[in-house]
Amino acid sequence: MSLKLKKGVNKQSAYNLRDPNLDYEAAHTLSIIVDNESGVLARVIGLFSGRGYNIDSLTVAEVDPDGHRSRITIVTTGTPKVINQIKAQLNRMVPVHEVIDLTLKGKAVQRELAIFKVVANGNQRVESLRLADVFRAKVVDSTLKSFTFELTGTSEKIDAFAELMAPLGLKEIARTGIVALLRGDNSS
Amino acid sequence: MTQANKITGAEIVIKALIDQGVDTVFGYPGGAILPIYDELFQQKKIKHILVRHEQAATHAAEGYARSTGKIGVVFVTSGPGATNSVTGLTDALMDSVPIVVISGQVPTFMIGNDAFQEADTVGITRPCTKHNWLVKDTNKLAETIHKAFEVAGSGRPGPVLVDVPKDVQFASGCYTKKNEIKKKFIKKESSIDLNLLDEAISRLERAERPIIYSGGGVINSGQSAVNSLRNLVAGTNFPITSTLMGLGSYPASGKNWLGMLGMHGTYEANMCMHDCDFMLCIGARFDDRITGRIDAFSPNSYKVHLDIDPSSINKNITVDAPLIGDVSQILSVLIARWKERGSKVNKKKLSAWWKSIESWKAVQSLGYENSSSVIKPQYAVQRLEELTKSYNRFVSTEVGQHQMWAAQFMGFEEPNRWMTSGGLGTMGYGFPASIGIQIAHPNSLVINVAGEASWLMNMQELGTAVQYRLPVKQFILNNERLGMVRQWQELLHGERYSHSWSDALPDFVKLAEAYGIKGIRCEDPAMLDDNIREMIDYPGPVIFDCLVEKHENCFPMIPSGKAHNEMILGEQTEENSISDDGAVLV
Ligand SMILES: Cc1ncc(C[n+]2csc(CCOP(=O)(O)OP(=O)(O)O)c2C)c(N)n1
Ligand SMILES: [Mg+2]
């Protein structure tokens, strides 16, 4: 039996062999190029809330100041049918120029930045610094009672660091949410 | 550009509209849009129709747009003017009607201060427009209005809104002509997948039990799509049914016509949908009123879906061959290739299929028991149809049982002749829509088939009809009930008629007289024809109060949660036919 792969999809992905009607939910990272105009983020978010789609993570910033374009990176979860709907609905919006499903397109670099405030004394303080070194987290601020660490990495790495810091006096975390780009020399 | 070349924002608005070929605007003035009204006063190219409520302006613009294929235009003021337009915008979004609403806004320096009549209009209308804009710079105003028209009319049409603060209307700026605008915001249309098209055609050629199911997209696509559809039906001899929005794209007198499908569609149309092995869906969207129970929808068919909107594909029903693009283009390619391949169809099986269809037709699912003492609503619509069909006629409706009876018993030979609120089901749509239609077609017979409850929702538009001498005929099927609600309560809620009767109704004849127009009351079936003729012949607006049987139910009916082959045909079979699961659905 020949595999019925749709044209233009990553041949290594078994995703397209799946029945699109299956209730199989998966996380997808979508990269959306939009006009950087007022209200554009509200439009995108409104689409998700209005139609009952999930947003697991969302980041946005202007990436092309000359063309006034921003890149929105959204991680969402849904069945293949829902993910297709989300992409079609996004594509319908006037300020949306491109919707790239990084999860379908192949391997993507996905990173998050987080800042941790750890307040501790004695051994705990030393231990937090040692672990930060292991994770290659940077100390960006310190007092006699606290460290503020900056860490970049996959969301899993940040989760792991947060877990380790919790008993060592972790007080606050700020995370950016995921930014992502396709690997390799292709621009998406 | 020198100062001398600059004009005010208000002038720019009017100039841009003229540039767009606009001849009619429906609207209502107020403080924040006064500069634009001032410009309107000083020109002669655009006619303004003063409605009596902004919701009516949007529906009138919809009626105008749908009966002409042009874009409807509306002016409203800020705050309450803008919020009153929300229902019409949503209605136009659901039914893909192109309208442009221009709203006044408080001056830019007051936005965000809870100024008098300030509302976050772009925020409120974001989910009910295709796109909207707040224009803060007079130099961008012309460009934005041209874009607005482009967005409203292109692809799958829909409503847009341009919010213009008062200081932007007063300030001077440069005018940009329509043809100086880059069309960069138009989404690229995808090319047809020819492999898929060929697969679809070979299925069409082999089909044993085919059905063509067409929708409003064919009408929106224009006359060439309508012609192609008719050619395809004639060439293949396939049966065809249409959605509520699609009526008229194939003539009701055509020999392959099965009538409307869906919740109140004919038995033959729905049975064909259920039993077919090949379904060609053209410009329709598998709405829940059409499909009935999703998992039992047309279980054994190969489904081809032609649609301009990729988000309509596989939304409710997964199809085998999605062909995305303008329906008229795809249809002409499809027909050309099918002809190249020899215009084949499976004739033998097809004639057997037509035999089954004849047997379903013999059920006469639209049958009802007539009466000589009381006017049956179906009979009233049938007589109206008989006595008006030879006219150059346009029909709008309100929402409810009367709407379904009109869809069942009136025949449309051409597109753009039937205007009804499908997706949103907006009571109060029909009267203002009939006004918009009559403005666009001053010499045609325009009839609004109404229910008394819906009609009351925008009855203030009597003033508009009288002011502009619009001879719109308001044919009210008065059952003194919120009939459709009453029907559901009878069938689904143990006959507990919670607030579903129209109490304290006005005397419609006296109401007409109060406005100086004609009122006719008819309660005798024997008088019906004469009274309808009197309505047609009267050279002005008429309110026709047709007192009909109060407890008539609209059949056939596919109850919510049921499949096409489980439709209720009439009173005698309805016991226990709607499950509690179905009662949850709308
Ligand atoms: C604005 C609005 N409110 C409520 C409804 C729900 N609804 C649907 S049909 C109907 C009754 C309509 O009564 P009438 O206009 O007299 O028509 P009939 O069904 O009696 O022919 C109602 C209340 C609606 N469709 N629109
Ligand atoms: Mg009624």
Say what the ipTM of the complex is. Answer: 0.92
Cross-strand partners of B73: B100
pLDDT of residue B182: 73
d(CA B445, CA B531): 16
d(CA B75, CA B511): 29
Point out the residue among B126, B310, B318 whose CB comes nearest to the CB of A42. Answer: B126
Model confidence pLDDT, tens digit, residues A4-60:
444 444 444 444 455 555 678 999 999 999 999 999 999 999 999 999 999 999 999
pLDDT of residue A106: 83
Model confidence pLDDT, tens digit, residues B300-331:
999 999 999 999 999 999 999 999 999 999 99
Asked whether B492 and B460 are in contact (CB, 8 A), the reply is: no
Cβ neighbours around A68 below 10 Å, total: 12
| Closest A-chain CA to B183 | A94
Contacts of A22 in chain B (CB under 8 A): none
Q: Which atom of ligand 1 is nearest to the CA of B481?
A: 20
- For the sheet with B321-324, list strands across it: B257-260, B240-242, B210-214, B278-282, B302-307, B321-324
Asked whether B399 and B449 are in contact (CB, 8 A), the reply is: no
Alpha helices by DSSP H, B237-364 = 267-275, 288-291, 327-340, 347-361
Residue B483 CB less than 6 A away from ligand 1: yes
How far away, in angstroms, is B423 Cα from ligand 1 center? Answer: 14
Alpha helices by DSSP H, B113-193 = 121-125, 141-153, 166-170
**Cβ of residue B566 closer than 8 Å to a chain A Cβ:** no
Look up residue B581 and give its two tokens.
Answer: 């699961």
Closest CA to B103 of B173, B30, B172, B176: B30
Closest-CA residue, ligand 1 atom 11, reads: B482
Which residues of B participate in catalysis according to the annotation? 54, 116-117, 166, 484
Closest-CA residue, ligand 1 atom 18, reads: B483
**Cβ of residue A85 closer than 8 Å to a chain B Cβ:** yes
Asked whether B62 and B14 are in contact (CB, 8 A), the reply is: no
Residue B102 CB less than 6 A away from ligand 1: no
Burial track B398-425 (b if 16+ CB lie within 10 A, e otherwise): bbbbbbbbbbbbbbbeebbbbbbbbbbb
pLDDT of residue A9: 41
Mean pLDDT of B175-190: 74
DSSP letter string, B23-39:
-EEEE---GGGHHHHHH
> Is the model's pLDDT at B296 over the cut of 90?
yes
> Is the model's pLDDT at B71 over the cut of 50?
yes
Contact A88 B318 (CB under 8 A): no
Mean pLDDT of B256-271: 98
Asked whether B421 and B399 are in contact (CB, 8 A), the reply is: yes
**Cβ of residue B113 closer than 8 Å to a chain A Cβ:** no
**For residue A53, how many C-alpha atoms fall within 13 Å in the half-sphere facing its CB?**
29
Mean pLDDT of A117-132: 97
| Closest B-chain CA to A87 | B311
Contacts of A85 in chain B (CB under 8 A): 311, 314-315
**What is the helix (H) or strand (E) element at residue A70, kind and residue range?**
strand A69-78
**Cβ of residue B130 closer than 8 Å to a chain A Cβ:** yes
Which pTM value belongs to this model?
0.94
Model confidence pLDDT, tens digit, residues B516-569:
999 999 999 999 999 999 999 999 999 999 999 999 999 999 988 899 999 999
Mean pLDDT of B431-460: 98
pLDDT of residue B4: 65
Contact A94 B311 (CB under 8 A): no
pLDDT of residue A20: 54
pLDDT of residue A160: 98
Cα angle B583, B276, B334 (rounded to 5 degrees) comes to 120
Higher per-residue pLDDT: A16 or B367 = B367
> Is the model's pLDDT at B65 over the cut of 70?
yes
Q: Which amino acid is at B540?
A: G
Model confidence pLDDT, tens digit, residues B202-239:
999 999 999 999 999 999 999 999 999 999 999 999 99
Q: Which atom of ligand 1 is nearest to the CA of B457?
A: 1
